[in-house]
Amino acid sequence: MIEIKGLYKRYHNHHSNEWVLKNINITIPTGVSVGLIGANGAGKSTLLRLIAGIDAPDKGEVVRHSRVSWPVGLTGGMQGSLTGRQNVKFVARVQGRDKNIEEIISFVENFAEIGSAFDEPVKTYSSGMKSRISFGLSLAFDFDVFISDEATAVGDREFKIKAKTLFKEKVNNNSLIIVSHSESILKELCKSGIYINNNCATWYDDIHKAIKDYHMDINKNTHNLVL
């Protein structure tokens, strides 16, 4: 279970300092996969980062009663001067997996399929190679809740199929909170939804109802603009 209590978030910059999210109060039940829905700029990715713990709210809190992943495929946390192998080993230790570090390293190495480059500094990698390592590393652990922001695997067709298959297996055995512009993916992977609109968030038990209300608002706003 994840509890979002009185959450507010804004970013201070030279454009504005208005609230992105205001007074969000939602409880995400255990074992329920959730899609975050809303227009571009509504705050979907912001809420996802707050749930994952890689950003902090200005007010309120996110209470995690489950083991929550970082966003699947996130590459920003890798140390460029370390090799892929060393980065994986470091993350495994941070996650308290000292007893099976070699198993995790082997999994990521085989999954990423970058050959001898696995033992080269990450700063020499292409963006695609980094994504392969990060995607594999994200799925090497059994989190209770996986976080995904438009997670897509890179590489050839065979690699993408392998990555998508493993991702679905992880989600089926655990749960998922995802941002995606693909409604078919949301309907396929998620049971419930959170619709973000006008800086607020509404919980829906049914993802289909959340998507329907989102489209109704879009159509209503479009009609008003025409008038």
Which CATH number belongs to the domain containing residue 90 in this structure? 3.40.50.300
Q: Are residues 43 and 128 in the same domain?
A: no
pLDDT of 220 reads 78
pLDDT of 102 reads 94
pLDDT of 15 reads 63
Q: Are residues 94 and 169 in the same domain?
A: yes
Prediction pTM value? 0.84
The domain that contains 41 carries what CATH number?
3.40.50
Task: Report the domain count for the chain.
Answer: 2
Q: Which amino acid is at 17?
A: N
Q: Provide the 8-state DSSP code for 12.
A: -
User: 56: helix, coil or strand?
Assistant: coil
Residue-wise pLDDT for 136-161, tens only, equals 998 898 899 999 987 655 667 788 78
Q: Which amino acid is at 54?
A: I
Q: Are residues 16 and 52 in the same domain?
A: yes
User: 48: helix, coil or strand?
Assistant: helix
Q: Return the ∠ at Cα 17 (arms to 16 and 23), rounded to 5°.
A: 135
Q: Are residues 98 and 162 in the same domain?
A: yes
pLDDT of 71 reads 84
Listed residue (186, 125, 191, 202) closest to 150, CA to CA? 186
Q: Which amino acid is at 184?
A: S
Task: Please state the rounded mean pLDDT for residues 170-180.
Answer: 89
Q: Are residues 21 and 45 in the same domain?
A: yes
70-84, 93-107, 180-194: segment of lowest average pLDDT: 70-84
* pLDDT beyond 50 at 217: yes
Q: Provide the 8-state DSSP code for 128.
A: H
* pLDDT beyond 60 at 224: no
Q: Average pLDDT of the chain?
A: 89
Q: Are residues 187 and 199 in the same domain?
A: yes
pLDDT of 16 reads 63
pLDDT of 96 reads 86
pLDDT of 3 reads 97
Residue-wise pLDDT for 184-203, tens only, equals 989 999 999 999 999 999 99
Residue 119 CA from chain centroid, whole number? 27
Q: Which amino acid is at 191?
A: K
Q: Are residues 25 and 93 in the same domain?
A: no
Domain, as residue range, for 212 = 2-70+181-226
Q: Are residues 85 and 138 in the same domain?
A: yes
Q: Are residues 56 and 79 in the same domain?
A: no
